[in-house]
Amino acid sequence: MGLRAYIAKRIVYTLILLFLVLTLNFIIFEATPGNPLEAYIARVAQSGRKDIQEIIDRMRELWGLNKPLHEKYIIYIKNMLTFNFGYSYLAGHEDVSALILGRLPNTLLLLGISSVLAVILGTIFGVLAAYKRGKPFDTTMVMMSLLTYALPTFWIGMILQGIFAFQLKILPVQGYEPIPPPKEPIAYILGRIYYLILPCLTLFLFTYGGYVLLARAATLENITEDYVITAKAKGLKDRTILFKHVLKNASLPIITNAALTFASILGGAIITETVFSYAGIGTLIYESILLHDTPVMQAFFYITALCTIVANFIADLLYGVIDPRIKYG
């Protein structure tokens, strides 16, 4: 099977999987006990707003809440595929897409920096640990990776807050930007970095250990292959052999794991963002779960699943580029 036929086959499988995910997402929220809309109406009624009925009618029309189940399902599929997520139960006048887009840059910045650093540094340390297997460096890397990987993120975050925010008082304990934000661009960027250090460090410590262990295991499987012996016989440097030859052949599981990591970036680090009161997607979905904001949760789960499916599709295509031994079939 050629590359074009493989891509076409994968696209068909991806569309089927997306349809199944949408259906499961619909069933989960339909089976959830209680009526989130009624709870929202009760909260808004207490606030004294005068446009309650307008909001209710708009929601019912958009989501077909008064229609039979099969019609609601069709409306739901149409809304999800067109990214028309409706209006939040927490703020009936605000579009869910606007809520997500408003928090998205903060989460991309936080998760992007921590994930990239974790992948790069974790892979490098893992390859070096495999090269020095059995030596103190290898033992130290494995122990540190297991320790940070096993600790819960909220505990890591609270420890870092206790050390750097409360004891040393050199970093902020919460927030995502200075208040009020500086008007000068350089000062604003430095302020954002200042508030990013602790949450980024928390996620980095929690994530990088997995890449160290994965890269170490994958490297150990390839480091004794015949091509490595041949490369050494040709007089190539150890660094060249490790990072140009061994790592390339050992990178397939790392690519898969990295794809899943970046796919979940929209989900944010719910616990970390909550600990640091960071205004990202994580805190948005946390608030939505607490207050049963169904439209936001449906949109969140759908986007996260969509990113995961697309990331796996891209990873499958990259396999053949990274490793020519793989044949599409």
Q: Model confidence over 263-316: pLDDT tens digits? A: 666 665 788 899 998 988 888 888 888 877 788 888 888 888 888 888 888 877
- State residue 87 phi and psi, 5-degree precision: -120, 140
Q: Which two tokens stand for residue 55?
A: 């909001």
Q: What is the mean pLDDT of residues 64-73?
A: 78
Q: Which amino acid is at 252?
A: L
pLDDT band at 123 (very low <50, low <70, confident <90, very high): very high
pLDDT band at 54 (very low <50, low <70, confident <90, very high): confident
Q: Model confidence over 230-263: pLDDT tens digits? A: 888 888 888 888 888 888 888 888 888 887 777 6
- State whether residue 304 is helix, strand or coil: helix
Question: Where, residue-wise, is CATH 1.10.3720.10 in the chain?
Answer: 96-322
> CB-based burial of residue 174 (10 Å sphere; 0-12 exposed, 13-18 middle, 19+ buried)?
middle
Give the Cα separation of 159 and 167 in Å (integer).
Answer: 11
Under CATH, what is the fold of the domain 96-322? MetI-like fold (1.10.3720)
Could you give the maximum distance between any two Cα atoms of the chain, in Å? 82
Q: Which two tokens stand for residue 304?
A: 């996260």
Asked if pLDDT for residue 104 goes beyond 90, the answer is no
Give the Cα separation of 319 and 146 in Å (integer).
Answer: 28
Give the Cα separation of 274 and 323 in Å (integer).
Answer: 41
Q: Which amino acid is at 303?
A: I
Q: Is the peptide bond before 68 cis (omega within 30 degrees of 0)?
A: no
Beta pairing partners, 147: none
Read off the pTM: 0.81
Which one, of 109, 20, 11, lies nearest residue 305 by Cα?
A: 20
Give the Cα separation of 182 and 120 in Å (integer).
Answer: 32
Give the Cα separation of 13 and 16 in Å (integer).
Answer: 5
Q: Model confidence over 187-220: pLDDT tens digits? A: 888 989 999 999 999 999 988 998 999 999 988 8
